[in-house]
A and B are shown apart, each in its own frame.
Chain A
Amino acid sequence: MLETKLLLVDDEEAFVAAMDKRLTMRNMKITVAYTGEEGLQKLGDDPDIDVVLLDVKMPGVDGIATLREIKNKHPMTEVIMLTGHATVESAIEGMKLGAFDYLMKPCDMDELVAKVEEAKNKKRTHQEKIIEAAGKDLRGRRGR
């Protein structure tokens, strides 16, 4: 299986650093960003990123706005929201906006890895379907 490409967006540098190391160890390719804008930019640089791990509460462009933008520009990319206790409501709003799931900080690593895997699989399946459909479409055109 291909390694998962994951973008980690959080303003807490220490948290990002720790997660980077731990997730890299778990066979993932990690890109980090410390603000919503940076995250969007990194996503634009590497559209192959499968899953975004996005903190809800951030200074500047917050998680929800970032999510909206990601879903707008990269609809295929799955987003897992990371939230503190007080921002459950915004996480739910995020789900409505198309986030794959949300996790409460601090989160259990196994659960996180499982979620990321799920999200990645969903994304890959989705992508394959689309490629397949596009292929059919192409074949159909050719056949006609």
Chain B
Amino acid sequence: MQLDARVPSGPLAEKWDRHRAEIALVNPANKRKFHVIVVGSGLAGASAAASLGQLGYRVSCFCFHDSPRRAHSIAAQGGINAAKNYQNDGDSVWRLFHDTVKGGDFRAREANVYRLAQVSTAIIDQCVALGVPFAREYGGLLANRSFGGAQVSRTFYARGQTGQQLLLGAYSALSRQIGLGQVTMHTRSEMLDLVVVNGHAKGIITRNLATGEIERHAGDAVVLATGGYGNVFYLSTNAVGSNVTATFRAYKRGAGFANPCFTQIHPTCIPVSGDYQSKLTLMSESLRNDGRVWVPKKAGDTRSPAQIPEAERDYYLERMYPSYGNLAPRDISSRAAKRVCDEGRGVGPGGLGVYLDFGEAIQRLGEPVVRERYGNLFAMYHEITNEDPYKVPMRIFPAVHYTMGGLWVDYNLMSTIPGLFVLGEANFSDHGANRLGASALMQGLADGYFIIPYTIGDYFARTKPQKVGTDAPEFTATEADVRARIDRLLGVRGKRSADAIHQELGQMLWDHCGMGRNEAGLKKVLAAIPELRERFWKEVCVPGANEEFNSALERAGRVADFLEFAELMCRDALERRESCGGHFREEYQTEEGEALRDDDQFCHAAVWEYRGLDQPPLRHEEQLSFEFVKLATRSYK
């Protein structure tokens, strides 16, 4: 497997401009001769499909939802970062770049991150032009707030619904192209495999979820914007439909999978309440602007929070990380919460929770201001827990939220399969081992609006891709694979739902590949996963047939892929013998319990190559060189 990142030479600040100047172009009249398949209609997919359609490419866009307005980008609450420096507080492209590289614990590719910071400002302009109603000050200019891992105020927001408003902006741009006939939208269509012809991505096989029809779609390039794999843990903040199938299928067809062990555990989620629970709900990081995190100083203190006097409370983030306090980055805040709970100081049922307290903020600002800032989040919390956060502190606990790992891509966002591009959370490129708050929306839109429109043209102009129709033997063979797999799922006729087996898998992963990982635990889970997989193929029950709306079949197919993918994730976690960002190997920590990186051995992205079910995947390395920032121990103290 060749891992050529194709990073342009020259000074960091000039790389992207230089690259754009050198990129080969497709003339406007020729663009309509190229057909691009975009899979996914979240921020990255919708913005890419809309932008490519505008340029004149023929685009087909696919999503498994009933409408392109549903993807889970919509649930992002807090905001989107951009280096506008509207607040005059010292922000700059360099500072956003630096914060992101440092936040990612020096495991991201420098050139990509710099480009991300550069295009961040254009994203805000684009979204405003599309009618995104960002929050504004009384003078009519755009408002900002602070987010974790930064000491400037650079986060743009639309109440607690920033993801929704950004997605609806991209969806409106996409809808316009659909109306104009530039983009053909296929809803309720799940990609079940990638078709590769002579080493190039040439199409996909989909299942129409309403009718069960298996369809072939050919294109000159395939763009995957299919999100992350957090649901491998069963319980996460992801939507229940989010899955790994598209990227994992591409991996099995030859795309390298990078850093699958880099998963983000978000510190502020509503704690688990019972084993019937289908998902976890995030409470936006923006709450940490005004909420203070604490636990009792004494272990086993079961008094109600109001009865615990100030002197007996431990505001542990403020104590341990005085310069960032409650706005310490996500990985650090999550681990700190785990530590105090491990010490027996956790609150709520089972001791798996910490307080996020707005008492002081309500005193300082008054309830109306707090309500204006966070009203919808407070209401959501109240609805779920039946507790009023204006009166009692919220209880929060970390939960799986985002996955930094994903398909490996070069500077052009192309995977190791030529013609297969990967955008947004589905790729690995920008967040290293930990993503900062309000950076996912930025990356999804950067990739879709401002990067792929340039780089895909370069692929077309330089490679002059071969035209392949859906009658090619590769399409026939791939479709046969897809059908065989569906028949196999339908044929087991066991006694258990795929969900129940998925839940078992999730618990295993949370215990051994969650917030803390160690060699013994990972080896144990690596032995248990194949056994669980075997049971799945004996015990799963998928009622009904393929040729109908069949939600049990959809779920079972996704769970089958999670059962294979989980092994790759744990293998990657085992091989990365260091702690960095969200990957905390208990063997590698400082005396104070902080992550201990090993830059000599592991300053690289680990990229996995599939070699068939009968042998383990091969691990490759893309060395990460830090020319412009100094590798340093990450400190938020």
Does B bind A?
A: no
